[in-house]
């Protein structure tokens, strides 16, 4: 049985919400808040929910269906690189040499897993 990426993403997000909701209500007790969150806070939550969670899951399962688990794993190694670059571009964070070194290591790891380094080191026939 084949499940569409949108169905898999919706099922995973819905199931996790149903499971965590009682725990959240017991621990956080949102009804005890002094004031309601501002519209800016609600907009930020909506953006996180729609872009960072829902869209990410749809893309994740679409890549899984199209490219397979191994290629999907390679894509997940790029998440820290993307986070660092977005932090620098969007938040003005300064990149230290260690950030570039980490990104280079991730790039080398991806090249090694992909087999490119082995092909370079293998003598030509």
**Residue from 119, 56, 61 nearest 83 by CA:** 56
Q: What is the model's pLDDT at position 20?
A: 95
Closest Cα partner for 78 from 58, 59, 54? Answer: 59
Amino acid 9: pLDDT: 80
> Residue 44's domain spans which residues?
5-121
pLDDT at 125: 67
d(CA 60, CA 13): 12
Rounded Cα distance, 7 and 58, in Å:
8
Number of domains in the chain: 1
Instruction: Tell if the pTM clears 0.85, that is, is over it.
Output: no
pLDDT tens figures, 63-102: 888 888 888 888 888 889 999 999 999 999 999 999 999 9
């Amino acid at each position: 049985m084949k499940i569409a990426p949108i169905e898999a993403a919706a099922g995973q997000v819905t199931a996790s919400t149903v499971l965590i909701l009682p725990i959240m209500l017991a621990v956080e007790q949102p009804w005890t808040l002094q004031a309601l969150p501002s519209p800016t806070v609600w907009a930020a939550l909506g953006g996180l929910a729609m872009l960072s969670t829902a869209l990410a899951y749809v893309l994740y399962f679409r890549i899984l269906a199209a490219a397979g688990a191994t290629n999907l794993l390679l894509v997940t190694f790029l998440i820290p690189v993307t986070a660092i670059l977005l932090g620098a571009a969007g938040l003005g964070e300064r990149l230290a040499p260690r950030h570039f070194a980490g990104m280079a290591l991730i790039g080398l790891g991806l090249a090694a897993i992909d087999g490119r380094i082995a092909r370079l080191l293998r003598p030509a026939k």
